[in-house]
């Protein structure tokens, strides 16, 4: 018998699928994933969680570098920020910024540093840019692979 941890819902309580969005602005899942989540198998939930983790990691890595993962883990654990320790540490960075971007004066104590292009940008703006890019990436994936018929341009037949 294989034991596995339950995949928790990515929901953060800010759902926009009820107002017609095809991608939730809160958790970045597709509307059908939000609706059908409770009916999904462990494997289906894991696939969704891995996609979201990959997208978020990609977006955060373009703005912030995790220099010392152990320091980051120690600080967010000590300060009791909610985060999923099983995720990539770049996902922890976004959880940290959501919880306290306006109160962080020194990223070095978290084992983090901004990439050069972002060094003069306030952390609250970086948090918002990460969220916007994460949403845009989820929307682009949805439009390209989940609902591609809206983007098909059929050649004129002659």
* Residue 75 Cα distances to 30, 93, 106, angstroms: 32, 11, 12
Has residue 122 got a pLDDT over 80? yes
pLDDT (tens digit, 9 = 90+) per residue, 88-97? Answer: 999 999 999 9
Q: Which of 62, 139, 51 is closest to 93 using CA atoms?
A: 62
Q: What is the pLDDT of residue 13?
A: 87
Q: Would you state the pLDDT for residue 116? A: 98
pLDDT of residue 49: 96
Per-residue pLDDT reduced to its tens digit, 32-63? 999 999 999 999 999 999 999 999 999 999 99
Structure tokens, 69:
């993962």
- Give the lowest-confidence range in 9-18, 72-81, 93-102, 148-157: 148-157
Contacts for 113 with CB less than 8 Å, ≥ 6 apart = 64, 65, 67, 107
What is the pLDDT confidence band of residue 147, given thresholds at 50, 70 and 90? Answer: confident
pTM over 0.85? The answer is yes
């Amino acid at each position: 018998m294989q034991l596995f941890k339950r995949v928790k819902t990515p929901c953060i309580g800010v759902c926009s699928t009820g107002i017609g969005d095809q991608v939730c602005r809160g958790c970045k899942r597709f509307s059908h994933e939000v609706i059908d989540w409770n009916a999904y198998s462990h494997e289906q939930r894991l696939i969704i969680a891995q996609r979201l983790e990959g997208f978020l990691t990609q977006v955060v890595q373009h703005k912030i570098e995790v220099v010392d993962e152990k320091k980051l883990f120690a600080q967010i654990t000590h300060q009791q920020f909610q985060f999923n320790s099983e995720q990539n540490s770049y996902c922890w960075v976004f959880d940290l910024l959501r919880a306290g971007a306006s109160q962080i004066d020194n990223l070095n104590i978290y084992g983090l540093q901004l990439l050069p292009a972002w060094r003069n940008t306030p952390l609250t703006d970086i948090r918002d840019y990460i969220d916007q890019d994460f949403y845009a990436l989820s929307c682009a994936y949805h439009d390209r692979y989940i609902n591609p018929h809206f983007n098909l341009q059929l050649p004129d037949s002659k």
